[in-house]
Amino acid sequence: MGTEVSVYLWHEDPEAARLLVDAVFSEAERIDALMSTYKESSLISEINRHAAEAPVFAGNELFTLIQRALDISVLTRGAFDITYDSVGQHYDFHERKRPDPATVEKERALIDFRLVRLDRVAQTVFFAKPGVRINLGGIAKGYVVERGVDLLRNRGVKNAIVTAGGDSRLLGDRRGRPFMIGIRDPRIDGEVAMSVPLADEAVSTSGDYERFFDEDGIRYHHIIQPDTGAPADQVHSATVFGPDAVMTDALSTSVFVMGVDLGLRLIADLPDYESIVIDAQGRIFYSDGLQPPAAEREPAEAPE
Ligand code: ADP
Ligand code: MG
């Protein structure tokens, strides 16, 4: 899926540890081969080629993830929408290539998750219009790290981090202390805006600084606002924490699209999930369940 996977774990036996790391990488490759739109041979590419002609069999694993993606579209009122790809396919961030306005106008009519019809019994996917495309780039990395951590947990590992792009799943803690997870400064390369102590949780960040190019003062990047077909421009980054990396991945993309107010309202309705958003002015916003760090609170009245 065009990203880097990393595994960090504690184990008594270095050789056993290396085999475990390899097992996570193999699992990531297996999922990539199934779900990457960069690969012509993947099942998702087959779906994109043929699902408007007739239902295409997706198999249990891919079917289930597509189903979850569509459920999240309902939850986010369409901010998260895997059919964004009818517009998204026209971007190439390495080549600084973007769709012209006429192409955006034409293709954005095909962004609508309701055009994806699932048959739960047959496990097939059908597109209700020609030209519809799906892309799991906003949820599949969360799935990769969730699967990676499951694999390590099942083999007895107690402390680990599996990361794919902006998505991490923590297993346990840093041997008695929390892991410190840095949230990148969206505008200063290599700088961390803040660090958050976390254990046994998933954390995902969506930002406009991963895949992008700037042209005439506009940043063209990889997260698409489904209703306009343009890159979402309300915030610079959205981070979501919670128990499940598939959810944090999709929710970070969703909060990025929805912006500070709607995004944090969505998170407020999900008791297990919290969020930190950095807006286009660089201001930091926290969901209700997170207290801002002491240094950022209003200074208390000095005692007389
Ligand atoms: P990253 O890829 O940096 O981890 P995200 O998790 O936010 O970041 O995923 C961004 C990816 O999500 C894009 O590269 C694209 O594949 C996909 N995407 C873009 N816009 C949307 C959207 N509105 N809904 C669902 N997926 C999207
Ligand atoms: Mg995401």
pLDDT tens digit sequence for 33-71: 999 999 999 999 999 999 999 999 999 999 999 999 999
CA of 17 to the centre of ligand 1 (A): 32
pLDDT band at 210 (very low <50, low <70, confident <90, very high): confident
Sign for the pseudo-dihedral over CA of 61, 63, 64, 66:
positive
- CB of 46 closer than 6 angstroms to any ligand 1 atom: no
Residue 172, pLDDT score: 97
Q: 277 and 285 in contact (C-beta within 8 Å)?
A: yes
- CB of 85 closer than 6 angstroms to any ligand 1 atom: no
Residue 2, pLDDT score: 84
Average pLDDT in the 238-252 region?
Answer: 98
CA of 13 to the centre of ligand 2 (A): 34
Q: What type of residue is 55?
A: P
Would you give the distance in Å from CA 80 to the centre of its chain? 10
Element (H, E) at 55: none
CA of 221 to the centre of ligand 1 (A): 10
pLDDT band at 31 (very low <50, low <70, confident <90, very high): very high
Rg of the chain, C-alpha, whole Å: 20
Place of tokens 């490759």: 29
Tell me the pLDDT of the chain averaged across its residues.
95
Q: Is 96 left (phi over 0), alpha (psi -120 to 50) or beta?
A: left
Average pLDDT in the 169-178 region?
Answer: 96
Q: 136 and 85 in contact (C-beta within 8 Å)?
A: no
CA of 304 to the centre of ligand 2 (A): 49
**Cα separation, 60 vs 157, whole angstroms:** 27
Residue 291, pLDDT score: 62
**Cα separation, 199 vs 169, whole angstroms:** 9
Q: 240 and 248 in contact (C-beta within 8 Å)?
A: yes
Ligand nearest to the backbone CA of 69: 1
- CB of 224 closer than 6 angstroms to any ligand 1 atom: yes
State what percent of residues in the chain have pLDDT above 90: 92
- CB of 206 closer than 6 angstroms to any ligand 1 atom: yes
pLDDT band at 290 (very low <50, low <70, confident <90, very high): confident
Residue 296, pLDDT score: 59
Sheet strands side by side (includes 56-57): 56-57, 124-127, 116-119
Range from 28-42, 109-123, 284-298 carrying the lowest mean pLDDT: 284-298
CATH, range 160-290: 3.10.520.10
The H-assigned helical ranges of 133-244 are: 140-154
**246: DSSP letter:** H
Residue in 26, 129, 115 with CA at minimum distance from that of residue 70: 115
Strands (E), the chain: 5-9, 56-57, 116-119, 124-127, 160-164, 167-171, 179-184, 192-198, 202-207, 212-215, 218-221, 235-242, 274-279, 284-286
- CB of 80 closer than 6 angstroms to any ligand 1 atom: yes
Coil/strand/helix, residue 260 = helix
CA distances 107 to 50, 218, 227, Å, are 18, 21, 11
Return the ligand 1 atom nearest residue 3 CA.
2
Q: What is the pLDDT of residues 68-105, one digit of tens each?
A: 999 999 999 999 999 999 999 999 999 999 999 999 99
Residue 59, pLDDT score: 97
Residue 1, pLDDT score: 83
User: pTM, whole model, 2 decimals?
Assistant: 0.94
Which two structure tokens, joined as six digits, stand for 203? 């954390």
pLDDT band at 123 (very low <50, low <70, confident <90, very high): very high
H and E: helices and strands count for the chain? 7, 14
Return the ligand 1 atom nearest residue 253 CA.
7
State what percent of residues in the chain have pLDDT above 70: 95
- CB of 139 closer than 6 angstroms to any ligand 1 atom: no
